[in-house]
Homo-oligomer: A and B are copies of this chain.
């Protein structure tokens, strides 16, 4: 199974340091009181490109040998990973090809174009996305950088954990959202590389709970039709990501969309942060599951801020 080691997370941290921001951590007395435990929020919504995805994409792009990089990179994404990969490729001065399915949010498509990538459109199915990416790869020799089932990407996403623990020493619990599982895998590997006693929790929408069901069943469940407002958490968890979460005893906490929207609003009123609805799952989970959080010191990752601010979900 192609998973990164903790040493690769550390290498990734050094590799992305010239490019990615050290995002701030924030906290609130009122949120601590509501959760019943101290909780800090790592503000990847303020990362370049507005999401943690820039870490993984940057690590992948700068991991390539010169001759590989010169042929460019390709991925399929309707969202933050596509934009992050386009930005990372531009920073290195190499071509990026982003396969964007029909129905993608126009603002995200515009951002990908603005970052100088070549956009390839396809139908909005996983099969069509993968077929188009393979076609581009065959034509151009570009290197595929999968949004989450890629060790370089996972290592890059995992860099958020040592950074957060440096900023907020003494955390014993890491809480992240889980969708495809790139962030959750990287963070579990990084957390246990630093301290095997750290508890890693993942928040998942009830309407896209394949990670929870897969871990309960002991085997990865198959494709499903997601029903959640959390667009970033709809993908089926990747196969290597499943293994990472299982091997690192990651507990998945299901939350409803209503709880997540209320948490998104609370992050605004208490911390003046507007985050993507997917990001707010971590606070929703912290509020819903005190049994796993009492007495702990929690670091939660706010994954992104690419929101249509004129169409907030409440």
**A195 interface residue per 8 A CB criterion:** no
Segment among A214-222, A253-261, A267-275 that sits at the interface with chain B: A267-275
In the assembled complex, which residues on chain B have CB atoms less than 8 Å from the CB atom of A46?
Answer: 24, 26, 271-273
Query: In terms of DSSP, what is the predominant structure of the interface of chain A?
Result: loop
In the complex, which residue of chain B has the Cβ closest to the Cβ of A270? B50
Most central of A271, A274, A312 by chain B CB within 10 Å? A274
Q: Which residue of B26, B274, B310, B312 contacts A272 across the interface (Cβ within 8 Å)?
A: B274
Most central of A21, A272, A306 by chain B CB within 10 Å? A272
Do B271 and A274 touch (CB < 8 A)? no
How many angstroms from the CA of A50 to the CA of B268 in the assembled complex?
Answer: 11
In the assembled complex, which residues on chain B have CB atoms less than 8 Å from the CB atom of A306?
Answer: 272
A254-288 interface bits toward B, Cβ cutoff 8 Å, 1 = contact, 0 = none: 00000000000000100111100000000000000
Do A309 and B274 touch (CB < 8 A)? yes
In the assembled complex, which residues on chain B have CB atoms less than 8 Å from the CB atom of A24?
Answer: 23-24, 46
Q: List 20 A-B contacts (CB under 8 A).
A: A21-B26, A23-B24, A24-B24, A24-B46, A26-B46, A45-B272, A46-B271, A46-B272, A46-B273, A50-B272, A268-B274, A268-B309, A272-B274, A272-B305, A272-B306, A274-B274, A274-B309, A309-B309, A309-B312, A310-B312
In the assembled complex, which residues on chain B have CB atoms less than 8 Å from the CB atom of A273?
Answer: 46
Q: Name A's B-contacting residues (CB within 8 A).
A: 21, 23-24, 26, 45-46, 50, 268, 271-274, 305-306, 309-310, 312
In the assembled complex, which residues on chain B have CB atoms less than 8 Å from the CB atom of A21?
Answer: 26
Minimum distance in angstroms from A304 CB to a CB of chain B: 9
In the assembled complex, which residues on chain B have CB atoms less than 8 Å from the CB atom of A312?
Answer: 309-310
Minimum distance in angstroms from A83 CB to a CB of chain B: 13
In the assembled complex, which residues on chain B have CB atoms less than 8 Å from the CB atom of A305?
Answer: 272
Minimum distance in angstroms from A125 CB to a CB of chain B: 31
In the complex, which residue of chain B has the Cβ closest to the Cβ of A107? B269
Most central of A23, A24, A26 by chain B CB within 10 Å? A24
In the assembled complex, which residues on chain B have CB atoms less than 8 Å from the CB atom of A309?
Answer: 268, 274, 309, 312
